[in-house]
């Protein structure tokens, strides 16, 4: 039997940001700036989400001179379902705006067991 | 203080070597791209992903912050953080136990034991963070076994010297203790870092293994047949090492047609043969029945040195020479030889292809 661990506040913040516009491909650095997170925190979360099949990754197909192609991320179907389930608090109503990682860490919501 | 300066210089040299050949971008970009390809196989794409994102980060402070985070992830990728913590904790406990044991049994080696323990703990922690890369093949396992056996033989020889002649390993400034621990850990790390997968990897590993084993066999034969000399049985700069490095680099480059593969085989041969040579040479001197000084310079130095006996003086001199020459200076010349051998090997390969055509 596998134990489902409660996601961290930062993971939930990333899931929410990605679920905000589920069809849109997102860049790693844009997510960092949007959520006020460091690369050292963001990338392990993205890696774990991709490991679990919750995150779809892709490379830019359009060639831009002067820089390498960037990695893109968006939630998969199960990822979107997980994000929705995770963001549904047991007792409190969810915040209306995407919470930054810092504020999410300060006021950790009571997450429903995902 | 000299030790700190030396370590800082060594770190700077290591950084320069890591960044050598990477002229694109500023220092954060070069640092991240230098380690981007060290991720395990199943995480390989995340390295270039972080390198590409760094091109979008503006401002020096932001770039450094992003690079620091990326380096943290590249060196300690998830999901093995638990394993990394366990390995680091066990490694630190073993290093502490080794240092305490050395302080009790062979006090002159306590700094060496502590430094080597900490460095090996750091290496093991990094290896745990990157595990599993891929299933290691038989050539890699053989090379790793030989590297570990050579390192164990080196440390065992040093401990024997410290037990039999403690004054020979006395090191007031700790420079030699730290230097020897750093180079020994570095050699072990070079030998244990697996080359990239593919046919070339196995070829270069096998060439280095064959060359190191041949060199080791020659030294053991010399130790068994040639009457021992207090100044070492095979000399500090053994031509056997040079021949082994040349054999490995030429052979690997000619087989694979790749100069980097030939150079890597040469470097690997240096990393494998230096500890074997140290153990054979110092072991040979230890087996001498009696020690006499024949050189007037040695006689004068012994009188000034305050050593309790001639054996301690000779062994101390030999240890210093082996560490500085055998592990630091001579390998620099051997690396140049490895590059030459690799270049010659690739030419041989091209010549062979042209003849076949």
**C-alpha span between A89 and B334 (Å, rounded):** 65
Interchain contact A23–B (C-beta under 8 A): no
User: Minimum mean pLDDT among A69-83, B198-212, B258-272: which range?
Assistant: B198-212
Residues 72-111 (B) with a CB less than 8 A from some CB of A: 72-73, 77-79
Q: Which of B43, B51, B56 sits opposite A47 (nearest CB)?
A: B43
Percent of chain B predicted with pLDDT > 70: 86
What is the average pLDDT score of chain B?
Answer: 84
Q: In what order do the strands lie in the sheet with A26-27?
A: A26-27, A71-75, A55-59
Asked whether residue B283 carries a pLDDT value surpassing 70, the answer given is yes
- Which residues from chain A sit within 8 angstroms of residue B52, using beta carbons? 67-71
Find, in chain B, the residue whose alpha carbon is nearest to that of A40: B69
Is the predicted ipTM greater than 0.90, yes or no? Answer: no
**Token code pair at residue A63:** 């060639």
- What are phi and psi for residue A111, nearest 5 degrees? -80, 140
Contact A24, A74 (CB under 8 A): yes
**C-alpha span between A16 and A49 (Å, rounded):** 13
Interchain contact A41–B (C-beta under 8 A): yes
**Token code pair at residue A88:** 């549904």
Delineate the domains of chain A, giving CATH numbers in brackets: 9-89 (1.10.10.10)
Asked whether residue A22 carries a pLDDT value surpassing 70, the answer given is yes
Count other C-beta atoms under 10 Å from residue B283's C-beta.
Answer: 19
Res A103: pLDDT = 46
Check whether the bond before B132 is cis (ω within 30° of 0): yes
- What are phi and psi for residue A59, nearest 5 degrees? -110, 145
Res A106: pLDDT = 42
What is the average pLDDT score of chain A?
Answer: 78
Tell whether the torsion through CA atoms of B30, B74, B41 and B269 is positive or negative.
positive
Res B289: pLDDT = 67
Interchain contact A44–B (C-beta under 8 A): yes
Extents of the domains making up chain B = 2-75, 79-132, 137-356
A48 CA to chain B: closest CA distance, Å?
7
Residues B137-151 have a mean pLDDT of 93
Helix intervals (H) in B20-108: 27-35, 46-54, 60-75, 81-105
A51 CA to chain B: closest CA distance, Å?
9
CB contact under 8 A, A67 and B55: yes
CB contact under 8 A, A48 and B79: yes
pLDDT band at A92 (very low <50, low <70, confident <90, very high): very low
Nearest to A13 by CA among A24, A38, A3, B62: A38
Nearest to B126 by CA among B178, B184, B83, B95: B83
Interchain contact B37–A (C-beta under 8 A): no
pLDDT tens digits, B323-340: 988 898 888 889 999 999
**Token code pair at residue A29:** 């650095």
Rounded to the nearest 10 degrees, the angle between the axes of helix B259-286 and helix B138-164 is 30
CB contact under 8 A, A43 and B73: yes
**C-alpha span between B275 and B216 (Å, rounded):** 10
User: Minimum mean pLDDT among A52-56, B131-135, B176-180: which range?
Assistant: B131-135
CB contact under 8 A, A70 and B53: yes
Res B342: pLDDT = 92
């Amino acid at each position: 039997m596998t134990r489902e661990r409660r996601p961290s506040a930062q993971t939930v913040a990333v899931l929410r940001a990605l679920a905000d516009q589920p069809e849109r491909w997102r860049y790693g650095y844009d997510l960092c700036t949007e959520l006020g997170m460091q690369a050292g925190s963001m990338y392990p979360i993205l890696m774990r989400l991709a490991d679990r099949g919750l995150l779809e990754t892709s490379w830019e197909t359009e060639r831009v001179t002067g820089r390498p192609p960037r990695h893109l991320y968006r939630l998969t179907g199960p990822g979107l379902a997980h994000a929705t389930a995770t963001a549904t608090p047991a007792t409190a109503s969810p915040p209306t705006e995407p919470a930054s990682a810092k504020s999410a860490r300060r006021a950790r919501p009571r997450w429903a067991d995902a | 203080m000299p030790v700190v300066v030396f370590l800082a210089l060594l770190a700077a040299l290591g950084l320069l070597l890591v960044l050598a050949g990477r002229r694109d971008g500023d220092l954060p970009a070069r640092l991240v791209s230098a380690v981007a390809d060290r991720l395990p196989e199943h995480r390989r794409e995340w390295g270039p992903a972080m390198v590409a994102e760094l091109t979008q980060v503006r401002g020096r402070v932001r770039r450094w912050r992003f690079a620091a985070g990326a380096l943290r992830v590249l060196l300690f990728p998830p999901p093995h953080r638990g394993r990394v913590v366990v390995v680091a904790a066990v490694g630190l406990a073993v290093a502490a136990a080794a240092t305490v044991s050395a302080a009790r049994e062979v006090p002159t080696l306590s700094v060496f034991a502590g430094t080597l323990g900490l460095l090996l703990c750091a290496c093991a922690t990094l290896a745990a963070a990157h595990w599993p890369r891929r299933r290691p093949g038989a050539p890699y396992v053989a090379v790793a076994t030989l590297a570990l056996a050579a390192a164990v033989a080196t440390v065992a020889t040093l401990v024997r010297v410290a037990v039999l002649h403690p004054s020979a390993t006395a090191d007031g400034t700790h420079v030699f203790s730290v230097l020897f621990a750093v180079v020994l850990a570095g050699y072990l790390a070079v030998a244990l870092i697996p080359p990239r997968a593919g046919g070339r990897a196995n070829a270069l590993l096998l060439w280095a293994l064959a060359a190191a084993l041949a060199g080791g066999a020659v030294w053991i034969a010399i130790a068994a047949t040639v009457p021992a000399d207090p100044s070492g049985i095979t000399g500090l700069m053994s031509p056997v090492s040079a021949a082994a490095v040349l054999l490995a680099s030429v052979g690997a480059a000619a087989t694979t047609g790749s100069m980097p593969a030939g150079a890597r085989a040469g470097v690997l041969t240096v990393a494998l043969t230096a500890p074997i040579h140290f153990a054979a040479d110092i072991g040979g001197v230890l087996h001498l029945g009696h020690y006499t000084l024949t050189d007037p310079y040695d006689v004068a130095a012994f009188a000034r040195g305050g050593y309790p006996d001639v054996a301690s003086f000779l062994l101390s001199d030999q240890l210093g020479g082996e560490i500085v020459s055998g592990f630091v200076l001579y390998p620099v010349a051997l690396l140049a030889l490895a590059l030459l051998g690799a270049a010659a090997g690739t030419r041989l390969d091209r010549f062979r292809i042209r003849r076949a055509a």
